[in-house]
Amino acid sequence: MPAVQVGDAPLRRLIMERVRALQCFLSLPDLESKFQHLQSQDATVAAVGQFDLPLRQYMDHTVLKPTAVAEDIIALCEEAKEMKFKAVCVHACHVAFCKERLAGTEVSVACVCDFPHGQSTPAMKRRQAEDILSLGADEIDVVLNVGLLKDQNYPGVFSDVGEIATAVSAAGKCLKVILETCLLTPQEIIDACIICVACGVGFVKTSTGFSTGGATREAVVIMLTVVGPNCLVKASGGIRDRHTTQEYLRLGVKRIGTSSGVTICK
């Protein structure tokens, strides 16, 4: 079956250099073993033009605007039920309502955490995640502390991701880490993804949709190349049409965050 290669050889070599550097910085002697997919001469991830599931099953149907009212959340849930989307994504104050409204369906409830800036302490993020899980959330989308990453405070980033990852994993739920790639250099995207793999997260995610930009092909290719089979990639921010959605899915993205899911899937 024909496949599309994500990341060329120079990119894979750069990633391995960063893996070895972070292995030393973080005293994680087994880290390199998680990246054996980068050693392959034909590192491939996605079949051209093929998706494993119907388009709607990749959708995180999203309402995160601060002006959202009850009517907006009701509409979100009804659309998700009608379209059979994978999940709705909301703020914590709407989680319990969405769980009730979506009871008896296969639509999951995802909730953002420390959104949109990710500047809380690791302990605060963990406690917020535990509160969100107690409301019934199935998935948590937490924002990475970008400042720690830009300071090259790798132990700090590892703690930032690792503490909440441990709590979410213990509850048997899914954690997505939002990198806010529009604020990062390619190397910072690489480093963030390596640390997320080390912490065992379920997804790395491009964007909040509330910063200077959203998902880009360049960022998604880097993310897919780094994580390989270790975790999944969610593209979000500025995705409003079927063509863009399909382009990301063909690359190997497994979740799309958008408020335009109905338009995309019709």
Q: Which residues are catalytic?
A: 141, 205, 234
d(CA 249, CA 229): 15
Q: What are the structure tokens assigned to 163, written together?
A: 């503490």
Give the residue among 68, 116, 60, 124 at the shortest CA–CA distance from 93. 68
Residue 150's SS3 state is helix
Q: How far is CA 142 from the centre of its chain?
A: 9
d(CA 157, CA 58): 28
251 secondary structure, DSSP code: H
CA distances from 244 to 247, 248, 261 (A): 5, 6, 12
Summary count for the chain: helices (H), strands (E):
10, 10
Give the residue among 147, 149, 150, 208 at the shortest CA–CA distance from 182. 208
Whether 58 and 255 have beta carbons less than 8 Å apart is answered as yes
Q: What are the structure tokens assigned to 101, written together?
A: 């409204």
